[in-house]
Amino acid sequence: MSVRTIKTVIFMGSARNITPPWGGDSRLGDRVLNWVKNVLSTRKERLGSESIVHDVYVVDPLDVFAPNGALSGFTGADLRAPVFFMRSDDLPPATKELGEKIRQADCYLIVSPEYNHTIPPALSSIMGHFGGSNYKCKPSGIVTYSPSPFAGMRAAMAIQIMCHELGCLPVSKLCGIPNVSDLFELDGTPKDQGNRLLNQLPELLTQLEWMAVAMANQREKTGTF
């Protein structure tokens, strides 16, 4: 059986780095992000005659908007200078590298909370820095989370619309994680391996992999439109 490596870019939606007054994690989503990475690192699913593995690259707002980060300085989180407005020769090397990782991806996973019941500004800023030509004809999958029972699902609805507009069409299966600290350790290890909520991600990935392979095959044959 041949092995197909899918280049998978994960966008982390939260830029939070402060512990709330009532205590807890400085960024609750790290538990979810670690879980997603752990699942991808061990996942080897069969799709037709191929075994699928993931080559994962994480885009984290705490990194890209930090001093000397790929989107700091000349543009910043307020999106003063969209990358597609600028000549390649004028871009910092780290920005070029990030753009190439996004452009070369076969699919995207978005791991995000909801801020004010919608898309966190850091997520829309990162993805919006790069034009739709980087994303189009590729699929995306959405994983949302919350400290509450609602699992960030209101943000998921808004993120779907954003992904449609960028051209990275979201698969129908969503993954919503409520009460995160009850489900995961800090390193992303599930506290109860039998919890039925854990089944959401493998089901999402099955759809994402099918679409990623199908769309990659079509891009190879005909290019993008």
pLDDT in tens, 18-35: 998 888 899 999 999 999
CATH says 2-222 is which class?
alpha beta
Q: What is the pLDDT of residues 145-193, one digit of tens each?
A: 999 999 999 999 999 999 999 999 999 999 999 999 999 999 999 999 9
pLDDT of residue 64: 97
pLDDT of residue 59: 98
Q: Name the one residue in this structure whose structure tokens are 């990659």.
A: 216
CB atoms within 10 A of CB 63: 17
Residue type at position 147: P
Q: Name the one residue in this structure whose structure tokens are 């998978």.
A: 8
Q: What is the pLDDT of residues 193-211, one digit of tens each?
A: 999 999 999 999 999 999 9
Q: Which residues contact 91 (CB under 8 A, 6 or more apart)?
A: 83, 99
Taking phi over 0 as left and psi of -120 to 50 as alpha, with beta for the rest, 60 belongs to beta
Q: Work out whether the CA dihedral 106, 109, 115, 117 comes out positive or negative.
A: positive
Q: What is the pLDDT of residues 65-123, one digit of tens each?
A: 999 999 998 899 999 999 999 998 889 999 999 999 999 999 999 999 999 999 999 99
Task: State how beta strands 107-112 and 45-47 pair.
Answer: unpaired
Q: What is the pLDDT of residues 32-70, one digit of tens each?
A: 999 999 999 999 899 999 999 999 999 999 999 999 999
Question: In the beta sheet, which residues pair with residue 190?
Answer: 184
Taking phi over 0 as left and psi of -120 to 50 as alpha, with beta for the rest, 6 belongs to beta
**Rg of the chain taking only CA atoms, in angstroms:** 17
Q: Work out whether the CA dihedral 164, 117, 151, 8 comes out positive or negative.
A: positive
Domain ranges of the chain: 2-222
